[in-house]
Amino acid sequence: MTIERIGRRAWLRNGTLVLAAGTLSSAALFSDALFADDDHAELRVGLVTDLHYADKPPAGTRHYRETLAKLAEAAAEFRRCRIDMLVELGDLIDAADTVETEQRYLTTVNREFSAICDDRHYVLGNHCVDTLKKDEFLGAVGQSESYYSFDRNGFHFVVLDSCFRADGQPYGRKNFQWTDANVPQEELDWLASDLAATDNRTIVLAHQRLDVSNNHGVKNNADVRRILEASGNVLAVFQGHSHQNDLNEIGGIHYCTLVAMVEGAGEENNGYSTMEIRQDGTIRVRGFRNQSSREFV
Ligand SMILES: [Zn+2]
């Protein structure tokens, strides 16, 4: 108990120490009291992204089959620290030649994912709806909508879907270029009214990035950011897609990009995190393996 309290003070007061630890990837670090669970967190969320599970040989740096073992390690940590909620930020599966094979990949990885936590949320990634159509993916994981919102322990969460072409057509059956990611007007209107209807501090969950204007960015993400900033309630956006750690602050909102689970061979190249939110709005990301640790207010 005492050790945990000392650890927490070290985390809060010594920014250099936090930063140095966050850049290391050894899981041994997390037995240190510095990384003890935050007893004051209102909510603890398990986060994974870009699992790209597929029963096929590695391609480049992507080791598709190893995702199952990496997910099992993440699951053990999520169970140990008793997450309240589980989120995957997109690209749960990778492409197959046929719809049937891709559905099999999804069934296999979701059997493991869905066993971790009852309260779970799926953000659509471009690879989730490459061959599959959105209703096929969502039907298989038991989620009714691709974009929606909900409240947990006094915080508001928004799941966004940027898997639309510039002409408004939803992705599916290989009908899109991955760089053509957009949030259509109808979803923008929904987002604005959804945020206007809540006073709760808000966390946004997305796949394609809302903070950059390169190929990994949603093409009209400036429109999305304008809505998020106008609400005055949005604390942070968590996103994936570019497979690398990143953190930007734009207009008072933190855009935290999480590392891809599929990248690299071996358990040392895993990447996952728990995100803990305190009542005062402090957000702490405890990164494991290649995932950076973060803390911001
Ligand atoms: Zn990906």
pLDDT in tens, 127-168: 999 999 999 999 999 999 999 999 999 999 999 999 999 999
CA of 201 to the centre of ligand 1 (A): 28
pLDDT digits (tens, 9 = 90+) for 250-268: 999 999 999 999 999 999 9
Determine the distance separating the centroid of ligand 1 and the alpha carbon of 225, expressed in angstroms: 22
Ranges of each domain in the chain: 1-36, 40-296
Distance 151 CA to ligand 1 centre (A): 27
Q: What is the pLDDT of residue 35?
A: 62
- Residue holding tokens 């929606």? 148
260 C-alpha vs ligand 1 centroid, how far in Å?
Answer: 7
Could you tell me the pTM of the whole model? 0.89
Confidence check: pLDDT of 239 > 50: yes
Q: How far is the CA of 105 from the centre of ligand 1 (A)?
A: 15
102 CA from centroid of ligand 1 (Å): 15
Give the Å distance between the CA of 198 and the centre of ligand 1: 31
Find the 258 Cα to ligand 1 centroid distance in Å: 11
Residue 203 pLDDT class (50, 70, 90 cuts): very high
Q: Is the pLDDT of residue 5 over 80?
A: no
Superfamily of segment(s) 40-296:
Metallo-dependent phosphatases (3.60.21.10)
